[in-house]
Amino acid sequence: MTGGMTIQRAEDAVADRVAGLRVPHWRLAVRVTGLLLPLVTCAVLAEFHDTVTSATAALVVVLWVVAAAATGDRPAGLLAALSGAVSFDFFLTQPYHRFSISDADDVEVTVLLLVIGGLVTEVALWGHRQQARAARRTGYLDGVLGTARVVSEGATPAPALIDIVARQITEVLDAQACRFVPGPVHDARLALLDHDGTVTRNGRVVDVDRQGLPYDEEVALLVRRGQRVVGHFVVTAAARIAYPTTEQRRVAMLLADQVAPAVGTD
């Protein structure tokens, strides 16, 4: 049975890896667009090089780089920056239609296009990461508050409440499954998650940020009522290694605590 589960996990891991290598259609479209738009723009502006200054053309090209970077896809932003710099050199600097530049000012503008494009891409990605982090925090808080409200109302049966919390813990920790077991932990092989987000296994702290959740062993979240352990949630890691942050792990423990009033009564 254990061997079959191991094989299945390996197959799932390979499937996830292959799926992760595939580029979503929208990302592919954004990258192609980011590559082509600066090129087309420079080609069009080349017809008006007598009236359009290099600075104006560069600003127009930077707009496309910003637009590509704003999608949150790093390759799209970098491709747009590279395409803009190369197209500017080819179409808008003398000698025209050659990859060479005779004017020092044009060299400076071309280099700045490439550098600014890269910087804009990184800034845009940083903004996307901050936005995603804020959205996750809001989701975690909503989950904890929602569960606390259900507990305070006292109308939800203990099994239903446990099921709700188990699903939320699974989602927060990016795990495969989570189940509740009454009473204290009797299996010494289980790793333990503490309220400060620390994971210990056999008395040793696991560096989850670098190693991820223990893949080969399950993780237990103790549920206490006072000093007494009334149960524990057992988390099964997903086929791929999950790297939940300290914040996520602490939220998981807060969620687990919500079932103590329902299961801690004799």
Query: 214: closest CA among 233, 196, 193?
Result: 193
Q: Taking all residues of the chain, what is their mean pLDDT, rounded to a whole number?
A: 79
- pLDDT on residue 231: 93
Amino acid letter, residue 44: V
Alpha-carbon gap, residue 260 to 66, rounded angstroms:
50
Overall pTM > 0.85: no
Residues of the chain with pLDDT under 70: 1-24, 132-155, 264-266
> Across the chain, how many H-helices and E-strands are there?
9, 6
Other CB atoms within a 10 A radius of the CB of residue 240 amount to: 18
| CATH T-level topology, domain 156-263 | Beta-Lactamase (3.30.450)
* Tokens linked to 246: 């300290």
- Cα angle vertex 174, ends 171, 175, to 5°? 95
- pLDDT on residue 24: 67
- pLDDT on residue 148: 64
Beta strands of the chain (E only): which ranges? 177-182, 191-193, 199-201, 204-206, 219-225, 228-236
- pLDDT on residue 266: 52
Omega within 30 of 0 (cis) for the link into 184: no
User: Among all chains, which residue has been given the structure tokens 């006292």?
Assistant: 154
Domain with CATH 3.30.450 in the chain: 156-263
- pLDDT on residue 40: 92
* Tokens linked to 2: 């254990």
- pLDDT on residue 193: 93
Amino acid letter, residue 80: A
- Cα angle vertex 74, ends 108, 39, to 5°? 50
Alpha-carbon gap, residue 50 to 13, rounded angstroms:
58
* Tokens linked to 229: 């352990």
- pLDDT on residue 219: 93
Helix, strand, coil percent values for the chain (each to nearest 5)? 60, 10, 25
Phi and psi at residue 39, to the nearest 5°? -65, -50
List residues bridging with 177 in a β-sheet: 236
DSSP one-letter code for 230: E
